[in-house]
Structure 1
Amino acid sequence: MSKEFIQLTFSTAEPVMSEVLIALLSDIGYSGFEESDVALKAFIDKDHFNEAEVKRALAGLAVEYNCAEIEEQNWNAQWESSFDPIIIGNFAAIRAGFHSPVQQVSHEIIITPKMSFGTGHHATTHMMVEQMADIDFTGKTVIDFGTGTGVLAILAEKLGAGSVDAIDNDDWSIENSEENTAANGCRQVHVFKADQLPGNKTYQVILANINLNVIVDSLPSLARASARGTVVLLSGFLKEDESGLLQLIMSLNFKHLDTRQKGEWICMKLEMN
Structure 2
Amino acid sequence: MNYWQYSFRPLGQEQREVFVAQLSMIGFEGFEEAGDTLHAFIPEQDLNEAALNELLSEGLEVSRKLIPPTNWNAEWEKDFEPVIVHDFASIRAHFHAPIPNVQHEVIITPKMSFGTGHHATTFMMIDYMRSIDLNNKTVLDFGTGTGVLAILAEKLGAKEIVAIDNDDWSIDNAKENIEVNACKKIELLKADSLHLGRTFDVILANINKNVLLVNMTGIRQHLQDGGVVIMSGLLSGDRKDIEAAVVKEMLKVDDQKDRQNWIALQISGKP
Q: Does the alignment reach a TM-score above 0.5?
A: yes
Equivalence for 2:6: 8
Equivalence for 1:53: 51
Aligned length: 270
Structure 1: gaps of 5 or more residues: none
Name the CA distance, whole Å, in 1 between partners of 2:141 and 2:30: 19
Tell me which stretches of 4 or more aligned residues in structure 1 moved more than 6 Å: none
More displaced stretch, 37-46 vs 74-83: 37-46
Shift of 1:32: 2.9
Structure 2: gaps of 5 or more residues: none
Name the CA distance, whole Å, in 1 between partners of 2:187 and 2:196: 16
Percentage identity across paired residues of the two chains: 46
Question: Against the structure 1 CA distance between its residues 113 and 72, is the aligned structure 2 distance closer, same or farther, given a 3 Å change threshold?
Answer: farther
Is the counterpart of residue 212 in structure 1 residue 209 in structure 2? yes
Question: Against the structure 1 CA distance between its residues 193 and 44, is the aligned structure 2 distance closer, same or farther, given a 3 Å change threshold?
Answer: farther
Name the CA distance, whole Å, in 2 between partners of 1:218 and 1:124: 19
Equivalence for 1:17: 15
The 8 Å contact of residues 106 and 152 in structure 2, kept in 1 or not, is answered as yes
Shift of 1:149: 1.0
Question: Against the structure 1 CA distance between its residues 11 and 266, is the aligned structure 2 distance closer, same or farther, given a 3 Å change threshold?
Answer: same
Name the CA distance, whole Å, in 2 between partners of 1:117 and 1:79: 4
- Per-residue CA deviation, residues 191-227 of structure 1 (Å, 9 max, x unaligned), is 2221112341211111111111111111111111112
Which one-letter code corresponds to 1:250 in the other structure?
Answer: V
Equivalence for 1:36: 34
Equivalence for 2:89: 92
Shift of 1:112: 1.0
More displaced stretch, 25-34 vs 220-229: 25-34
Equivalence for 1:27: 25
Name the CA distance, whole Å, in 1 between partners of 2:4 and 2:163: 27
The 8 Å contact of residues 34 and 79 in structure 1, kept in 2 or not, is answered as no
- Equivalent position to 1:106, from 103, 106, 130: 103
Name the CA distance, whole Å, in 2 between partners of 1:104 and 1:192: 34
Question: Against the structure 1 CA distance between its residues 232 and 82, is the aligned structure 2 distance closer, same or farther, given a 3 Å change threshold?
Answer: same
Equivalence for 2:172: 175
Is the counterpart of residue 230 in structure 1 residue 227 in structure 2? yes
Shift of 1:116: 4.2
Name the CA distance, whole Å, in 1 between partners of 2:269 and 2:58: 37
Name the CA distance, whole Å, in 2 between partners of 1:181 and 1:170: 17
Is the counterpart of residue 194 in structure 1 residue 191 in structure 2? yes
The 8 Å contact of residues 7 and 69 in structure 1, kept in 2 or not, is answered as yes
Question: Against the structure 1 CA distance between its residues 39 and 189, is the aligned structure 2 distance closer, same or farther, given a 3 Å change threshold?
Answer: farther
Which one-letter code corresponds to 1:184 in the other structure?
Answer: N
Name the CA distance, whole Å, in 2 between partners of 1:99 and 1:224: 40
Name the CA distance, whole Å, in 2 between partners of 1:118 and 1:196: 28
Please give the secondary structure, in 1, of the residue aligned with 2:40. strand
For the aligned residue pairs, the C-alpha RMSD in angstroms reads 1.9
More displaced stretch, 29-38 vs 122-131: 29-38
Shift of 1:262: 0.3
Is the counterpart of residue 148 in structure 1 residue 142 in structure 2? no
